[in-house]
Chain A
């Protein structure tokens, strides 16, 4: 069985600025990490991988995104692909899905493709289902458990306050939400070894992608404008010693709670 996992390298620091001219996000410190929900998808992939199975990891992003690949290599991935091309920059969700789908087709076919349910930064949750559609696979989002029996995947999907037991014919794409399992961390020994592992760099030309269909050029959903947010309120500031502030806060909260009990609510 061939298993693929797609991960995103996201900024650790959420303090970003928006370039007033291009409306692009300007990442602050540049430090990144593997997207939180992707760690649960990696864990699911790791548990799924049996003797004779291969596990390949893909990421689309800048050269720095190699760091995310190395974490997954240390957790047992066999091959790591960095999808890195100027033409990919500025992709919308559909553009990202096109690049991932082209790579998965080129290096596949895969029986199971896993991703995190949503990224920490964009958080659209669209890339998984779009990639599945492009690959002609069914998709199951928010899967918390996955077992493969022959050519059938048994998936437990969390939706609202319920678990749905689903079966899907392989190949299938599954997205995994934050908190689905308890991800293993790489051991130091495995991480040191993974850091020496080959990373396969892949460009648009390698995948036969027309640059006009992806990235900024191909994006259908674009940011046209940014607006500073003017917060409307002028907060009353409580000052004093710690005890004075605690008393003031307690008085405020008590008053509000009392008003709520009497129905309504009192606006300070």
Chain B
């Protein structure tokens, strides 16, 4: 019998908003899922915050003394829960903490693991795990042979499920041993200027190859837009890695997005969600970005940017 579960890790007593999205992903599989929240000193009151459409039970797993940096100990706990409860499918958000913990847990329980999925479907009793392919204009469907399977879901793939009345909740304690100790935490300047931005200007490989990166940046400044880039632009150090848009980077939902010199591979376009207006500038009339944009300008961006930046 299949037993689907959602795993989340509670930090600072708060549930991440991924729980509601994962509940919606689980619902796409057609059977109710149970939600496991891992943390230190979890209180049953949390269950009310974690009761979503598609969830039939909340299990709070206290892991005393372990913080999210102690991934070796948390992997012990996750693997033990998977074994104790006979879980066959575990869904989690594709983010650094869960990815680290569950990669280790996958080894412990012998699970196959698929990363960064954007949709789930059931076919002939197996879960088709859909994700964009590297570099090609295709989506790939993955499957895990046997059980259990661990699936990480890209944030923003499903609209959050609705809250429901509180579902049954239990609390347990699972110990894990860690060889890591945590010391001081130092806050860094926020890099979160893209995810909430209404207007985003994106520089692509075409912008750096034609020496127009600075002109694109000047244009972004001029219209008060956040500046982002595609993967090659980050790889070459023109923008911080956190400002890279795409399947392997940040996912944005701007109301207006102006894209210079991006061909439009699926790995990039998966990083722009929502129904905002997309304007693309590219000198290749057949660039795939044309099929992703609302407005397409086939032009040499250098000349266009000179004209745009010169306007009052």
**Chain A residues within CB distance 8 Å of chain B:** 11, 13-18, 23, 25, 36, 92-94, 97, 118, 120-130, 132-134, 137-142, 157-159, 161-169, 172, 177-179, 219-239, 242-243, 245-246, 248-250, 252-253, 256-257, 260, 265-268
Contacts and interface: CB of A to CB of B under 8 A. Distances in A.
B108 interface: yes
B303 interface: yes
B145 A260 contact: no
B32 interface: no
B75 A222 contact: no
The 5 closest A-B pairs by CB, nearest first: A231-B291, A220-B112, A246-B307, A129-B103, A235-B296
A125 B99 contact: yes
Given A225-B140, A226-B133, A229-B266, A126 B293 contact: no
B260 to A, nearest CB: 11
B104 A130 contact: yes
23 contacts: A14-B134, A18-B133, A18-B136, A36-B235, A94-B106, A128-B103, A129-B99, A139-B71, A140-B180, A159-B68, A161-B192, A163-B188, A165-B184, A172-B179, A178-B241, A179-B237, A220-B149, A223-B141, A230-B291, A250-B311, A253-B256, A257-B199, A265-B198
A130 B106 contact: yes
A140 B149 CA distance: 24
A245 B139 contact: no
Interface string B214-247: 0000000001100000011011010011000001
Nearest to B190: A161
Given A125-B96, A139-B100, A233 B72 contact: no
Given A125-B115, A226-B133, A260-B256, A167 B180 contact: yes
A260 B224 CA distance: 12
B234 A229 contact: no
Contact of B292 (A93, A163, A222, A231): A231
A242 B301 CA distance: 9
B182 interface: yes
Given A133-B104, A141-B96, A169 B179 contact: yes
B46 interface: no
Contacts of B28: none
A127 B104 CA distance: 9
Contacts of A133: 72, 75, 103-104, 107-108
Nearest to A179: B241
Contact of A238 (B185, B275, B297): B297
B249 to A, nearest CB: 9
A126 to B, nearest CB: 4
Contacts of B135: 11, 13-16, 25, 121
A228 B99 contact: no
B103 A126 contact: yes
Interface residues on B, range: 35 or more
Contacts of B189: 161
A124 B107 contact: no
B187 interface: yes
B208 interface: no
A250 B138 contact: no
A15 B72 CA distance: 37
B221 to A, nearest CB: 14
Contacts of A169: 179
Interface in B167-218: 178-192, 198-199
Interface in B61-101: 68-69, 71-72, 75, 96-97, 99-101
Contacts of B97: 159
Residue of A221, A234, A268 with most partner-chain B CB within 10 A: A221
A130 B97 CA distance: 14
A221 B187 contact: no
Nearest to A15: B135
B113 interface: yes
B152 to A, nearest CB: 8
A97 to B, nearest CB: 7
A233 B291 contact: yes
Given A133-B104, A233-B291, A162 B280 contact: no
Residue of B75, B138, B288 with most partner-chain A CB within 10 A: B138
B103 A130 contact: yes
Nearest to A182: B237
Contacts of B266: 229
